[in-house]
Amino acid sequence: MQSVNNKGLVEELEKLLERLRIPQEFAASLTGGSFEESRMLKNVEACEWLTGAIRCLEVPNLDPSYVNMRAVREKRAELEKLKTTFVRRASEFLRNYFSSLVDFMISDKSYFSQRGQLKRPDHADLRYKCRTYARLLQHLKSLDKSCLGPLRKAYCHSLNLLLRREAREFANELRASTKAPKNPAVWLEGANNAGQNGSSADTSTVSDAYSKMLTIFIPLLVDESSFFAHFMCFEVPALVPAGAPNVNKHISGGNEPDDDLSLMDPDGNDLKPDNTSVELGTLNDALQELLDGIQEDFYAVVDWAYKIDPLRCISMHGITERYLSGQKADAAGFVRKLLDDLESRISVQFSRFIDEACHQIERNERNVRQTGILAYIPRFAVLASRMEQYIQGQSRDLIDKAYTKLVSTMFTTLEKIAQSDTKTADIVLIENYAAFQNSLYDLANVVPTLAKFYHQASESYEQACTRHISSLIYLQFERLFQFARKVDELTYTIAAEEIPFQLGLSKTDLRRVLKSSLSGIDKSIGTMYRRLQKTLTSDELFPSLWDKCKKEFLDKYEGFVQMVARVYGNEPIMPVAEMKETLASF
């Protein structure tokens, strides 16, 4: 029995001693081995052994009765020292390695865009060299998770220098190589045809350049974000969402509907969303360090495009919106924020253009006694046509707000200009509201916002026509219709048969008025015809306005004839039919 116990004790001691033994080759790798690529397999094996050895000296892998043994405590301390030494050495190597990789690339000018040559950034070799140490990073995380923070910072700092240099050189050469008009378009001010000439230049190359900047760098930044997340051992989902637009497909190797984007830990176990929220926040903070500053080169392209043709903001807004729709709200956080900021900057620049255009319109108020069609009316139609051509994606709301501000300013300014001279106020309104409708007829049929203003202009036009025609009629036939108005006012207080006995409203007075107003009716109508023709600066409007004038006069005259029949009985007066024939001859 004693021999059996002795044998069992010896076996247990041998097992324990085996756990306490540190293989010489692993100790050498952990304390002073090289981190060259050829030695990485040995280093990984040493890490795996060290991780296992530490676990073997912990409950439940070790019998609790052995935990406090002196030999076990000493060996655990020795292993901890090995771990600390290795983590320190490996971290120092990786920090220097990341820096040297980037320094080597930055020192090679041929790697970047140069005069006459746009260079697409290529990080394949960089990532290949980094992947050599991917397993090492995973083991470092397992040994001491706190070492990842400084390593992530070092990687972000080094790669940030590279990305910013790539973006700066690319953006500079992109602007330099893009052929665009030297003189910016002038839309709503200047000489009569300056806006037309300025607007005819083709500036599509400007928005194409912005699109190229996004096409090259947004997938690159998403790709870099994804690589960084996985290389630096963040426990987060893939950063390229399923069903993303084609612009990102080459990053993920295809986005089939059944792509598996469930969250997993390094051992392949599913992670619950609660477990990833902190990691995702840490990742986005790190991505801010990785990519911060690169936005300035995107802003520079936007500002450059705006100076050449502010309307290209519409195209750029649509392009940006298309990329935004392909980004998940909780993934590649900095890239989405960059796109959001770009969209906001484009909107601000476009709003600035609209504000300046409104100021140009308002400057017309300073020019007193303006007649004819104001220059900004037909120019707005050209501007709106161009804006409609540039719409992409979700830019409709941006354009509709611009239309609302511009047209409201146009109409307000027009009314103020018209009121500066009451004699010509209605003519100014008639001609300009008519010009607005004529120039925007086609667009108003397809753009609801412009249709709303088209109808507003139509109503204002009709009101101005009514006022002007009424004033012409009363000016020429004042005594006739003033007599009718006095009669109408009395009908509310006395009986109709008593009116002919009132002072100034007798039959004799009526005959006197009819004689003075209708005896030379052809001449009077001719005078009214010429007066209307003289007040208009646009011959095109005259036929329709004269028709309105004849109809309005005939309606009023018919009412006058009915009043005479009702109040003065069979008193002779020129029949309506005869008056209609007289008017028809003009």
User: How far apart, in whole angstroms, are the C-alpha atoms of residue 466 and residue 549?
Assistant: 9
Task: Supply φ then ψ for residue 270, to 5 degrees.
Answer: -65, 140
Phi, psi of 264, rounded to the nearest 5 degrees: -135, 150
The predicted structure's pLDDT at residue 195: 42
What is the structure's pLDDT at 268? Answer: 43
Cα dihedral across residues 273, 275, 278, 281: positive or negative: negative
Question: pLDDT tens per residue, the chain (586 residues)?
Answer: 565 555 454 455 445 444 555 666 666 667 777 777 766 777 777 777 777 676 666 555 555 655 566 655 677 667 777 778 888 888 998 999 999 999 998 888 777 787 767 888 999 999 999 998 898 888 888 888 889 999 999 999 999 999 999 999 999 999 999 887 776 666 665 444 434 444 567 888 999 999 999 999 999 999 999 999 999 998 877 655 433 444 444 333 333 333 333 334 444 444 454 556 788 888 888 999 999 999 999 999 999 999 999 999 999 999 999 888 876 554 567 888 999 999 999 999 999 999 999 998 988 776 656 678 898 999 999 999 999 998 876 788 999 999 999 999 999 999 999 988 888 899 999 999 999 999 999 999 999 999 999 999 999 999 999 999 999 999 999 999 999 999 998 888 999 888 898 999 999 999 999 999 998 899 999 999 999 999 888 788 999 999 999 999 999 999 999 999 999 888 899 999 999 999 998 8
Residue type, 308: I
Cα–Cα distance measured from residue 522 to residue 564, given in angstroms and rounded to the nearest whole number: 22
C-alpha span between 329 and 306 (Å, rounded): 28
Query: Is the distance from CB of 460 to CB of 377 less than 8 angstroms?
Result: no
- Distance from C-alpha of 18 to C-alpha of 284, rounded to nearest angstrom: 45
What's the burial of 192, exposed, middle or buried (CB within 10 Å: 0-12/13-18/19+)?
Answer: exposed
Q: Which pLDDT does position 242 carry in this prediction?
A: 39
Q: What is the pLDDT of residue 144?
A: 87
Q: Residue 29: is it exposed, middle or buried by C-beta count within 10 angstroms (0-12/13-18/19+)?
A: buried
Question: What's the pLDDT at 202?
Answer: 81
CA–CA separation, 401 vs 399, rounded Å?
Answer: 5
Q: How many CA atoms lie within 13 A of 204 on its CB side?
A: 6
pLDDT of residue 245: 44
